[in-house]
Homo-oligomer: A and B are copies of this chain.
Amino acid sequence: MTVNYTDDVASRRGFGSFWKLMLKWRGSVYKMVWHDMLVFIFLYYFISLIYRFALPDDSRKTFESFVLHCARFRNLIPVSFVLGFFVSLVVNRWWGMYQSIPWPDTAAILVATHIPGQSAEAREARSNILRYINLTIALTFAKISPVVKAKYPTLNSFVMAGYLTEREMKILESLEDRVNVHKVWVPVLWACKALDHARRHELTTEGGQRVITAEFLAIRSKCGGLMGWHQYNIPLVYIQVVTVAVYSFFFFSLLGEQFLDPARGYANHLIDLYVPFFTLLQLFFYIGWIKVAEALLNPFGEDDNDFEFVPLLQRHIEMTRLLSEPSPSELPEYIQDDD
Q: Which residues from chain B contact A321 at a C-beta distance below 8 Å?
A: 179
> Closest Cβ of chain B: how far from A319's Cβ, in Å?
5
Closest residue to A218 on the B side, CB-wise? B106
Known: A9-B297, A15-B36. A237 touches B292 (CB 8 A): yes
By the criterion CB–CB under 8 Å, are A197 and B305 in contact?
Answer: no
A241 contacts B by Cβ under 8 Å:
yes
Known: A9-B297, A210-B211, A278-B76. A109 touches B220 (CB 8 A): yes
By the criterion CB–CB under 8 Å, are A323 and B88 in contact?
Answer: no
Q: Which residues from chain B contact A322 at a C-beta distance below 8 Å?
A: 175, 179, 181, 183, 185-186
By the criterion CB–CB under 8 Å, are A196 and B116 in contact?
Answer: yes
A42 contacts B by Cβ under 8 Å:
no
Q: Give complex CA distance A297, B91 in Å.
A: 15
Which of A27-35, A44-52, A155-163 lies at the interface with chain B?
Answer: A27-35
By the criterion CB–CB under 8 Å, are B239 and A21 in contact?
Answer: yes
What is the number of residues of chain A that contact chain B, defined by CB distance less than 8 Å? Answer: 157
Instruction: Jot down 24 A-B pairs with beta carbons below 8 A, ordered by A.
Output: A2-B231, A2-B232, A3-B236, A7-B298, A9-B301, A12-B295, A16-B291, A18-B243, A21-B236, A68-B270, A69-B270, A77-B285, A80-B81, A80-B82, A109-B185, A109-B189, A174-B330, A175-B322, A180-B315, A181-B315, A190-B331, A237-B305, A241-B289, A244-B285
Known: A236-B24, A271-B65. A112 touches B35 (CB 8 A): no
Q: Give complex CA distance A32, B230 in Å.
A: 24
Q: Which residues from chain B contact A183 at a C-beta distance below 8 Å?
A: 322
Interface centre among A103, A180, A238, A288 (most CB of B within 10 A): A238
A228 contacts B by Cβ under 8 Å:
yes
Known: A18-B243, A82-B80, A243-B22. A323 touches B284 (CB 8 A): no
A151 contacts B by Cβ under 8 Å:
no
Q: Considering the complex of A and B, which 3 residue pairs feature the smallest CB-CB distances, nearest first?
A: A10-B301, A11-B301, A78-B80
Q: Give complex CA distance A56, B18 in Å.
A: 39
> Within the complex, which residue of B5, B66, B270, B294 is in contact with A16, where a contact is CB–CB below 8 Å?
B294
Known: A3-B235, A168-B332, A179-B322. A211 touches B211 (CB 8 A): no
Q: Give complex CA distance A270, B63 in Å.
A: 11
Q: Enumerate A162-221 residues with CB–CB distance to B below 8 Å.
A: 165, 167-168, 171, 174-175, 179-181, 183, 185-186, 188-190, 192-197, 200, 205-207, 210-211, 213-214, 217, 220-221
A118 contacts B by Cβ under 8 Å:
no
Q: Enumerate A60-84 residues with CB–CB distance to B below 8 Å.
A: 62, 65-66, 68-69, 72-73, 75-78, 80-82, 84
